[in-house]
Amino acid sequence: MIPSYGINQNFNLLRIHFMRLLLLLLILFSNQAISQPIGKSVFNQQIATQFTNQDNLPEQAVNSITIANELPIVRIAGKSYSPSNDGKWTETVEKQPSALQNKTMKVLDKPVLSFVDYNSIKVYGTQDGLYFVTNKKVEQIFPSDANYSWSLRNVNALVVDSKNRLWFGSQEGVGCLENGQWKLYTGKEGLPYNKFTCAAAGPDGGVWFGTERGAIYAHEGQFGYRASKRWLPNDYVTSLAVSKAGTIWIGTKNGVSRIENKPYTLDEKADYFTKQVEERHNRIGFIAQSELTKQFDITTSQFAISDNDGMYTAMYGAAQAFRYAVTKDLEAKRFANRSFQACKWLSDITPEKGFPARVIIPIDWHEPVNEQYSIAYNEKRQITDPQWKSIFPRFPKSEDGKYRYKCDTSSDELAAHFFYYGIYYDLVAETEQEKSDVRQVVGDMMDHLIRHGYKLVDYDGKVTRWGDFSPEYFNSVYGYDQRGLNAMMMLSFLNVTKHITGDKKYDEAADMLREKYNYDIYALHPKEYFPAENVVPWDNNLCLMSLYGLIKYETNPELLLMYRQSLENAWLHISKQKNPFWDAIYQSLANDFTKLVDKNYFNRKDLFPENHLYAPNVTKTYYKAANKPEFILDNLQKIPLDLIGYSMPNTHRLDIVLDNSPGQSEEKGWHFDGYALPVDERGHVRQDRDGFDLNLTEGNGYSEHEGTFFLLPYYMAVHQKLIGN
């Protein structure tokens, strides 16, 4: 007989094991249920739609907006208007007109600028103060917190939010009263502007403020700024109303804007931009911005050429190559193949073997391209720029007479070509023919440079304006400031070419440039940082793209240590610009370095025998990437769907710090937190721009830029596992 206590004990043990197994299964199931690829995760994409006289709204200031049945009622000059199903606005009669604020009311004989009911208190804003009024008394309020104590002026905005907090907007700044305690905000806390006109509460505890220069969204101590034609028909905001769904309707001096939060995924955003590129930016395989014949009107888009069609086409091709590596989508491979063939065509069309053109256009192109670059024009340019290349025609005919190509090619083109060819070769080229085509074009380009003494030489037998990578150029008064960047780029081109072709002669050429001319030492300083006139943002783009090939295809541990230091030197200058493409390149290369350190790749006593401390110091100092990885995802989500080149001035903002470096312009600066302004609050729609440029414009509403701005950093980040799970 088995004792009863043994049976009970075994039963209890089985029950415990069963419960543990059940709990483990529940945890696993829960993780699978909530975990999903980053591309499928939903976020809110802000989308603006503007309504003006073209939509049957009078061309006058909006007096007020209210929401009825989730639709706006807009009042202009004593009449009410509502949107119809066709997007047009029609005059309407309100069944129950809302009471409008009586601007003639007074408190203590002072005209009221704003008022609201708050916890059985009448709150009034006037020109010289904030007042709480009850049945018993009128009390002037002097808000204060740990940082400020204010006697308010021009309290033009008052509102109570959905969490029953009182907010005001005054000349001093913004204040929030919660549980009897004030929290006050100025530019030092992120408030963009302080000339308020109105306010409205959202459903999530957020508050919108109207100002004389845009709209401001306040939520949990953070501020967002919506101004310029990207967001508003006119920056002077006269009225606000928020629907239950959180859609904000903004009335201005000339029209109405609707800004709505639409649920979006990054994959959906990528699909949107791929479609945008294919429909409006693909010109016979070349990718570039489009021109708008009517300002801000995307329906008037027409194909255009840029100075760097080859670069932009290569970058789009790289985006599609990363996409193919991630998804194996045959459409991505088709687009990557097309971009490769377009870039290869740029080299094949020129009479000088291995010399890539900038642009190819049909012979009947509608613009008088050669007339724009006449001999007289060249002579005039040489007065201000002695190195300007005088070559005519700048758009010669192709051998078959069907096309023209633009010459005087620059380092911009080369950097993007070599960047793309390495990525295409590794991720897309699968057949022997595809691989052979890459080997041929890369070899031809590199052989051209070597044949001409590391110079890009045009059909006239002379070096191009920005295509000199020679030691002689570096030692001249014209090229000394370019030697760090150009030396690094040339070593990168040689690394990419050796990787693709397998030909050791490119290693030998690189060894010669390092040993005889110190190209590796120059490369330690791959970017100019000062003076201001030598610092151009597109050099950042060329630098990071070239560092990618330089480091990715290097195997020498000593060189890898030097190039890791070079990467950090380059990135530090742009580390706070919040550029997702540059951050993705930096982090991916830095992560690769971390893996090598973890594998003890540099634990050798023969490295740098003249200074045995260099290798351990570099591995320790630059062991891990120093960027903020969350910025990549944040910026990808914030990139607007609207890539029209707007003028977006920001020097008036209170939350920016101007760059007072000697020689710097007065239009450079950064957000109060030390980083560039958010990407949706500045005019940047290209990777190769300065995030600290506060008044940047890209065509003043007459151009739309291609979605590579999103696609390249997104697919690169996913492929390199920089975002997602």
Taking the C-alpha atoms of residue 38 and residue 69, their distance in angstroms, rounded to an integer, is 35
What is each CA distance from 258 to 87, 216, 682, in whole angstroms? 12, 14, 19
CB atoms within 10 A of CB 105: 10
Taking the C-alpha atoms of residue 555 and residue 217, their distance in angstroms, rounded to an integer, is 50
CB atoms within 10 A of CB 529: 13
As given in the structure block, the two tokens for residue 304 are 């255009």
Lowest mean pLDDT among 408-412, 469-473, 531-535: 531-535
Using the predicted structure, report yes or no on whether residue 33 has a pLDDT greater than 80.
Answer: no
Contact, 301 vs 643, CB < 8 A?
A: no
pLDDT at 23: 45
The upper half-sphere exposure of residue 457, i.e. CA atoms within 13 Å in the direction of its Cβ, equals: 17
Whether a cis peptide bond, with omega within 30° of 0, leads into 393 is yes
**H-helix or E-strand spanning residue 621:** helix 614-621
Q: How far is CA 253 from the centre of its chain?
A: 30
376-426 pLDDT, tens digit each: 999 999 999 888 999 999 999 999 999 999 999 999 999 999 999 999 999
Taking the C-alpha atoms of residue 557 and residue 607, their distance in angstroms, rounded to an integer, is 8
Q: Which residues pair with 141 in a beta bridge?
A: 130
Average pLDDT rounded to a whole number, residues 625-630: 94
Taking the C-alpha atoms of residue 537 and residue 697, their distance in angstroms, rounded to an integer, is 14
Amino acid at 688: D
**H-helix or E-strand spanning residue 716:** helix 708-719
pLDDT at 666: 73
Contact, 608 vs 14, CB < 8 A?
A: no
Q: What is the sign of the dihedral through the CA atoms of 222, 228, 233 and 236? A: positive
Using the predicted structure, report yes or no on whether residue 725 has a pLDDT greater than 90.
Answer: no
| Angle at alpha carbon of residue 412, lines to 314 and 296, rounded to 5° | 70
- As a dihedral over the C-alpha atoms of residue 292, residue 295, residue 300, residue 306, rounded to 10 degrees, the angle is 0
> At 371, is the secondary structure helix, strand, or coil?
helix
Taking the C-alpha atoms of residue 157 and residue 126, their distance in angstroms, rounded to an integer, is 10
Return left, alpha or beta for 144; rule: phi > 0 is left, psi -120 to 50 is alpha, else beta: beta
Contacts of 460 (CB under 8 A, 6+ apart): 391
Taking the C-alpha atoms of residue 200 and residue 619, their distance in angstroms, rounded to an integer, is 53
pLDDT-derived band at 106 (thresholds 50, 70, 90) equals: confident
Higher pLDDT, 405 or 15: 405
Contact, 194 vs 173, CB < 8 A?
A: yes
Contacts of 381 (CB under 8 A, 6+ apart): 388
Contacts of 490 (CB under 8 A, 6+ apart): 449, 454, 469, 513, 519
Using the predicted structure, report yes or no on whether residue 13 has a pLDDT greater than 80.
Answer: no
User: Global pTM?
Assistant: 0.92
Backbone angles phi, psi at 525, to 5 degrees: -120, 75
Using the predicted structure, report yes or no on whether residue 605 has a pLDDT greater than 80.
Answer: yes
Tell which residue, 561, 552, 580, 575, has the closest CA to residue 639. Answer: 580
The upper half-sphere exposure of residue 558, i.e. CA atoms within 13 Å in the direction of its Cβ, equals: 13
Using the predicted structure, report yes or no on whether residue 102 has a pLDDT greater than 70.
Answer: no
Whether a cis peptide bond, with omega within 30° of 0, leads into 471 is no
Contacts of 142 (CB under 8 A, 6+ apart): 149, 150, 151, 152
> What mean pLDDT is reported for the chain?
92
Backbone angles phi, psi at 555, to 5 degrees: -120, -15
Q: Work out the percent of the chain whose per-residue pLDDT is above 90.
A: 86
Using the predicted structure, report yes or no on whether residue 31 has a pLDDT greater than 70.
Answer: no
Average pLDDT rounded to a whole number, residues 161-187: 97
Taking the C-alpha atoms of residue 286 and residue 307, their distance in angstroms, rounded to an integer, is 12
Contact, 496 vs 553, CB < 8 A?
A: yes
Contact, 697 vs 648, CB < 8 A?
A: yes
Give the helix ranges, DSSP H, for 502-599. Answer: 505-517, 519-522, 537-552, 557-572, 580-598
pLDDT at 15: 52
254-309 pLDDT, tens digit each: 999 999 999 999 999 999 999 999 999 999 999 999 999 999 999 999 999 999 99
As given in the structure block, the two tokens for residue 575 are 């580390």
Using the predicted structure, report yes or no on whether residue 183 has a pLDDT greater than 50.
Answer: yes
| Angle at alpha carbon of residue 45, lines to 85 and 209, rounded to 5° | 85
149-165 pLDDT, tens digit each: 999 999 999 999 999 99
26-35, 475-484, 703-712: which has the highest mean pLDDT? Answer: 703-712
CB atoms within 10 A of CB 429: 23
pLDDT at 29: 41
**H-helix or E-strand spanning residue 280:** helix 266-280
Taking the C-alpha atoms of residue 617 and residue 555, their distance in angstroms, rounded to an integer, is 19
Contacts of 442 (CB under 8 A, 6+ apart): 418, 421, 496, 497, 500, 501
pLDDT at 135: 86
Average pLDDT rounded to a whole number, residues 23-46: 64
As given in the structure block, the two tokens for residue 484 are 């760090």
The upper half-sphere exposure of residue 43, i.e. CA atoms within 13 Å in the direction of its Cβ, equals: 18
Tell which residue, 672, 674, 666, 675, has the closest CA to residue 695. Answer: 666
Contacts of 682 (CB under 8 A, 6+ apart): 648, 650, 676, 691, 693, 694, 696
Q: What ranges make up the beta strands (E) of 220-285?
A: 222-226, 237-242, 248-252, 255-265, 282-283
